[in-house]
Amino acid sequence: MTGFAPVEPATATGPAAELLAQVQRTLGATPNMTKAMANSPALLHGYLALSGALAGGELPVAVRERLALATAEYNGCEYCLSAHTYLGANVAKIDAAELDAARDAKSTDAHPQALLTLSDAIARGRGRVDSGALQAARDAGATDAEIGEVVGHLALNVLTNYFNILAEVDNDFPPVVPHSVV
């Protein structure tokens, strides 16, 4: 049972129906999170717009999935950990060891590591980071565009983490439990 009643695509009307149809066309499925978000078409539209815009940015999908995993672990969101572990393995083709490491904002690849470290510092500092953290990311090759997108992905992932936790969205992915819950 979810905290928010899911809006089923077959019975949805108006903007919610249009947005859920867009999700189905884009993903080939309609995840429970989007059904719950459809209670507020404005929220679902905003999520889809930001997600779509960032998907067309500089950061490759493998980095985006790592960032999502680190944020989900930090916030203790089982739904997002589960979804991004699945997407990381099956879409971004990230191996299991790297997926697990990303949960702790770690990577064996220096560039993603720098972005994960920066994202973690931004989250923990609630946007405030010392100049050394920013310089370390730049020294590892991060561009201003990538750094900006790290902030965008952090905002997107916090949005979905908080929403899924609050709405008690039923997990429709193979479950991955946050370390803090284990």
Report which of residues 105 and 1 the model is more confident about. 105
Pick 181 or 15 by higher pLDDT: 15
Distance, in Å, from the CA atom of 126 to the CA atom of 117, rounded to the nearest integer, reads: 14
| Rounded CA Rg of the chain | 16
- Residue 166's nearest CA partner among 14, 74, 36 is 36
pLDDT of residue 182: 53
Question: Domain 61-167 class?
Answer: mainly alpha
Q: Mean pLDDT in the chain?
A: 96
Instruction: Quickly list DSSP for 18-71.
Output: HHHHHHHHHHSS--HHHHHHTTSHHHHHHHHHHHHHHHTSSS-HHHHHHHHHHH
Domain spans in the chain, listed from the N-terminal domain onward = 14-55, 61-167
Examine the pLDDT at 176 and tell me if it is beyond 90.
yes
Average pLDDT over residues 118-144: 96
**Whole-angstrom Cα distance, residue 42 to residue 65?**
25
Q: Determine the average pLDDT of the residues in 42-65.
A: 98
Contact 87, 55 (CB under 8 A): no
pLDDT in tens, 69-126: 999 999 999 999 999 999 999 999 999 999 999 999 999 999 999 999 999 999 999 9
pTM here is: 0.95
What is d(CA 19, CA 14) in angstroms, rounded to the nearest whole number? 9
The answer on pLDDT for 59 being more than 90 is yes
Residue 166 has pLDDT above 50, yes or no: yes
Which has more confidence, 181 or 88? 88
pLDDT(1) > 50? no
Q: Please say if the pLDDT value at position 181 is more than 80.
A: no
Q: What is the pLDDT of residue 180?
A: 83
pLDDT at res. 13: 98
Q: How many angstroms separate the CA atoms of 148 and 150, rounded? A: 5
What pLDDT band is residue 3 in, cutting at 50, 70 and 90? confident
